[in-house]
Chains A and B, each alone.
Chain A
Amino acid sequence: MSKKVFVIGLDSAPAEIVFNQKEKFPNLKKLIDNGIYGNLTSSHPPITIPAWMVMCTSKNPGKLGLYGFRHRKDYSYTNIWIATSESIKEKTIWDVLTEYGKTSCLVSIPPSYPPKKVNGYLISCFITPDAEKDYTYPLELKSEIEGKFGSYKFDVKFRTNEKEKLKEETFHMTEQRFEVIKYLLRNKNWDFFMFVEIGVDRIQHAFWKYMDKEHHLYEPNNKFERIIIDYYKFIDEKIGELLSILDDKTSIIVVSDHGAKRMKGAFCINEWLINEGYLVLKNKPSQITSLENVEVDWTKTKAWGWGGYYARVFLNVEGREIGGIIKPKDFEKEREELAQRIKEIKGPNGEKWETKVFKPSDLYPEYRGDYPDLMVYFDDLYWRSAGTLGHPTLYLPENDTGPDDAVHAQEGIYIIYAPWKNVKERKDAHILDIAPTVLNLMDIPIPEDMEGKPIT
């Protein structure tokens, strides 16, 4: 029997919505109630890049050499490189399947630009610069898709106050993606099909405070209160349409790359480092600006940080950075001391935070590429990191670069529904387990260097 696997990727979907409110989503409920499901612990960091590729290669971020979207180029203070499909050097699920003559159909899995050759079909993801670029494999798939569905929508700009417009654009983007997927399901040969819907993440970031009564900016009876759940209902209906096309030899997997939770605020990492004497500027900025736009006195600077859903902190080390001042022999001591001081940071009202600080060696058996010296989850990710300067306070109630209400959570979700199996169980798994699970469901040998174990 030819066993096929269909993977539905919902970027950022948390158990609190998908599992705890399953009664609202009949199609997802059917999969949950008749399959194996549970929390899916994400990678460190739990960020779209690297998480989807950790899932698809069953390799940890250290092995992939991916610690986020951007990385320092050659320990430069300012030059960065952006992760693309070319950054992925480890074998993916579809690379393994190709060796066994299986075909794959891949839609918008980050990062998949530029489109790489695959034994099957591929549409790239939201890091595609624009729809003018070649974003499919094979090349002619682009005109085929555009001829039927118009210009492909990769993403929406969610950090906006035009909420009605954003809502409309997100529903529209998702609708189009599902139409494209339906078309591919019906018209292309595939053994493995996987897509990622980024709209889930965008709608959560944009509308979380309207839904979550615990959010510090929640307003009762606001008009956007139900948008996130309405969006999930919409997705559920669309998933139902896809399921009706699939045959009973196809296993269905629903996954998210990480979870989501309310944002408590943004912590100004670089302002804090200035206060603590680690970062020294030549001139104090008079307005809010990013670190790359101010003159840093590198002869007096020991450390600086990056913003994002987690903070990356770098030490200024002699022999590594051009103007490094920390002696290599003092590096570990300085790093340890800074890590301790970061762990002791308290909240705006003096409350204790559950801040996690990691060295790459704490997380990865080996680490490649341009890794940070410290990785920081302020208050277990409830506070994002703001890299900008010029704020009157260390604690921002809103994000520093546009409205954003949600942060990432370590726990995502998975559901596995194999029609011929009669296993109903809730058990937690790890994001590394998904690639071996797919191969196992397809009776393909699991490469020995995959780090996860099949969920059975």
Chain B
Amino acid sequence: MEEKEFKEVLIPTTLYKKIEEKIKGTEFSSVSSYVTKILREVLSKEDEKKEVFSKEDEEKVKERLKALGYID
């Protein structure tokens, strides 16, 4: 049986409403999108990896991969 791609989490209604107000007119399409984004940020800070490439090197490698047809 395939694991579901999404699972529900419950948050207090007051917090939900606060977020609903906050994201009005922003790029966030839903409270779920906002909560997911914030949680990802928190978790990725905890899990911060050493960056392999400097910004300049990353651009260089991306350009090369584009030129090689792996990215476009």
**Contact (Cβ within 8 A) A401 B29:** no
**Contact (Cβ within 8 A) A82 B36:** no
Given A82-B65, A331-B5; A325-B29 close (CB under 8 Å): yes
Distance, CA A424 to CA B70, complexed state (A): 37
Distance, CA A390 to CA B69, complexed state (A): 18
Q: Give how many B residues have a beta carbon under 8 Å from the other chain's beta carbons.
A: 32
Residue B22 is within 8 A (CB to CB) of chain A in the complex: no
Q: Which of A23-31, A209-217, A240-248, A315-323 contacts B (4 or more CB under 8 A)?
A: A315-323
**Contact (Cβ within 8 A) B72 A328:** no
Contacts of B2 on A, CB cut-off 8 Å? 361
Residue A158 is within 8 A (CB to CB) of chain B in the complex: yes
Residue A178 is within 8 A (CB to CB) of chain B in the complex: no
Our pick among A47, A130, A133, A328 for the contact of B70 (Cβ within 8 Å) is A47
**Contact (Cβ within 8 A) A320 B33:** yes
Contacts of A47 on B, CB cut-off 8 Å? 70
**Contact (Cβ within 8 A) B6 A82:** no
**Contact (Cβ within 8 A) A323 B29:** yes
**Contact (Cβ within 8 A) B27 A401:** no
Residue B24 is within 8 A (CB to CB) of chain A in the complex: no
Residue B28 is within 8 A (CB to CB) of chain A in the complex: yes
**Contact (Cβ within 8 A) B30 A319:** yes
Give a binary string over A290-329; 1 marks a CB under 8 Å from any B CB, 0 the rest.
Answer: 1000000011000000111100000001111111110010
Give a binary string over B42-59; 1 marks a CB under 8 Å from any A CB, 0 the rest.
Answer: 001000011011000110
Residue A102 is within 8 A (CB to CB) of chain B in the complex: no
**Contact (Cβ within 8 A) B69 A401:** yes
Given A319-B32, A322-B27; A404-B6 close (CB under 8 Å): no
Given A69-B70, A322-B28, A328-B5; A127-B61 close (CB under 8 Å): yes
Give a binary string over B11-49; 1 marks a CB under 8 Å from any A CB, 0 the rest.
Answer: 000000000000000011110110111001000100001
Residue A148 is within 8 A (CB to CB) of chain B in the complex: no
Contacts of B30 on A, CB cut-off 8 Å? 318-319, 324
Q: Which residue of B lies closest to A128 (CB)?
A: B61
**Contact (Cβ within 8 A) A70 B65:** yes
**Contact (Cβ within 8 A) A322 B61:** no
Given A130-B60, A323-B33; A158-B28 close (CB under 8 Å): no
Contacts of A309 on B, CB cut-off 8 Å? 69-70
Given A322-B37, A331-B5; A308-B53 close (CB under 8 Å): no
Contacts of B27 on A, CB cut-off 8 Å? 298, 322-323
Our pick among A157, A205, A318, A388 for the contact of B32 (Cβ within 8 Å) is A318
Given A82-B61, A129-B53; A318-B69 close (CB under 8 Å): no
Distance, CA A387 to CA B49, complexed state (A): 29
Contacts of A322 on B, CB cut-off 8 Å? 27-29, 33, 37
**Contact (Cβ within 8 A) B53 A401:** no
Residue B71 is within 8 A (CB to CB) of chain A in the complex: yes
Contacts of A331 on B, CB cut-off 8 Å? 5-6
Residue A155 is within 8 A (CB to CB) of chain B in the complex: yes
**Contact (Cβ within 8 A) B72 A387:** yes
**Contact (Cβ within 8 A) B40 A74:** yes
Our pick among A82, A298, A318 for the contact of B62 (Cβ within 8 Å) is A82
**Contact (Cβ within 8 A) A158 B71:** no
**Contact (Cβ within 8 A) B61 A307:** no
**Contact (Cβ within 8 A) B72 A290:** yes
Q: Which residue of B lies closest to A329 (CB)?
A: B6
**Contact (Cβ within 8 A) A318 B72:** no
Residue A61 is within 8 A (CB to CB) of chain B in the complex: no
Our pick among A74, A205, A298, A384 for the contact of B44 (Cβ within 8 Å) is A74
Q: Measuring CB to CB, which residues of chain B are less than 8 angstroms from any residue of chain A?
A: 2, 5-6, 27-30, 32-33, 35-37, 40, 44, 49-50, 52-53, 57-58, 60-62, 64-72
Q: 16 A–B contact pairs at CB < 8 A?
A: A68-B70, A69-B65, A82-B61, A127-B64, A127-B65, A129-B60, A157-B64, A308-B70, A318-B29, A318-B30, A320-B33, A322-B29, A324-B29, A324-B30, A387-B72, A401-B72
